[in-house]
A = this chain, B = another copy of it.
């Protein structure tokens, strides 16, 4: 441990080979290569000039010593930070117990790995805006991915993170957005219902504060409006439990409903289970659609719209890491997935 082997290079210069214990530092590499630390830094970081000879010697030395740059030190001097913060807005910390968030975090971690960056995830209470400010005050934060955020939160993103923040959901003048095309996905589902002869179409919406959910609602309203049909809306919250209750409410208020559009697959699954419990046939009496195409959807033959969460998160994290101008808005298409429920 800490054992070193002192040897001699052909050039008759002393070098040190670390055999165990302390990982090699840039100094070790420079010494072994017989160049200055700056030169070693230049070739390792790939920045600045270096003669082919120097390049070669440094590379060899680094290889032999198993040199790996210390990300923390590098981040300190460059001021770039060492981790990507995934901040998920919501009313309770339970928002983090969600496979959607899992996928975002995991995808982000995968993108960050080669850059030597880590990822952390935090719940952002909607009513405690100070937290975002505190979290982003840590210079170790290299970038920010906001999930399900609000405009209020968006405005709190500090200047330091301009260009290093992306929102999965709505964006702002300073924070670009990467998102799923809720309107397109929901629209195609509503059109499918209409094409199937449904005319009394209700919708179980998401929480009002969530803009992306609202886009689905707007699409639903627009389409029904265009067709001269009245809307039937019940507020939900993405959960199956709320979907159940909502199904009851829909049928109580509008007994002749022949289709229910759920804001999410979980919602739709809740709706279906309640409907079946009440002996309403799906899709014969009432057609039901979801949104997201989670694994459960295919198993339960739920008609829904696709939502490539992993690809979206990967794009978001990549945008944060790559420091080049980003489009204000990147929309991933959502395709209808027609199965048996509608």
Which residues on B sit within 8 Å (CB–CB) of A73? 76
CB of A113 within 8 Å of the partner chain: yes
Binds B, one of A181-189, A199-207, A292-300: A292-300
Extra 20 A-B pairs, beta carbons < 8 Å, given A76-B76, A96-B110: A1-B159, A21-B159, A21-B160, A23-B139, A24-B137, A68-B138, A72-B75, A72-B76, A82-B83, A86-B109, A99-B103, A102-B102, A102-B106, A105-B106, A106-B121, A109-B109, A113-B121, A113-B122, A116-B138, A117-B118
Which residues on B sit within 8 Å (CB–CB) of A219? none
In whole angstroms, what is the CA distance A139 to B105 when docked? Answer: 23
A119, B120: Cβ atoms closer than 8 Å: yes
Closest beta carbon of chain B to A133's beta carbon, Å: 7
In whole angstroms, what is the CA distance A137 to B63 when docked? Answer: 12
Q: For A298, give the chain B residue with the smallest CB separation.
A: B296
* Known contacts A20-B159, A76-B76, A82-B82, A106 near B113 by CB under 8 Å: no
Closest beta carbon of chain B to A166's beta carbon, Å: 17
* Interfacial residues of chain A within 168-222, with CB under 8 A of chain B in the complex: none
In whole angstroms, what is the CA distance A72 to B119 when docked? Answer: 14
